[in-house]
Amino acid sequence: MWSYYHDKKQQIGLWRAVDHANNIPLAYTFGTRKHKSLDELLALLEPFKIGTVYSDDNCAYHDKIPTEQLVTGKRNTQQIERHHLTLRTRVKRLCRKTICFSKRKDIHKAVVGTFINTFFFGRVFDVSTCL
């Protein structure tokens, strides 16, 4: 999921993983659509022993995840797209056309991370870890 901070040239992606069976979020990280961000997410998912990964057709997935574990396409990504809609509805900084935005990347990550942790995980987020 893409969003912006400071201006439209400053993009940041939200990488999220959701348990496909029961629709529970597992982990998230911020970054670009490159291999480094996927590596961070996969490191967070290591304890879960993920069997199958449903994703879009990003080349980073094809390089890092074995073909027998990877399923691409929109059919199996509907749950995470629904979570994206919830995020865009409740956190106005994630809307594409809005006057509410973050001027700095670390503030953007703290605001979005706080919402994800309280809404999806039900826990308080320590903002000092992002700043």
Q: Which residues contact 109 (CB under 8 A, 6 or more apart)?
A: 12, 30, 130
**Which of 9-13, 26-30, 124-128 has the largest mean confidence?**
26-30
Segment holding 89, helix H or strand E: helix 78-90
Claim: this prediction has a pTM higher than 0.75: no
Tell me what the mean pLDDT of segment 96-123 comes to.
76
Closest CA to 48 of 21, 74, 30: 21
Over residues 80-99, the pLDDT tens digits come to 788 778 887 777 777 666 66
Is the pLDDT assigned to residue 130 strictly greater than 60?
Answer: no
What is the predicted pLDDT for the residue at 128? 67
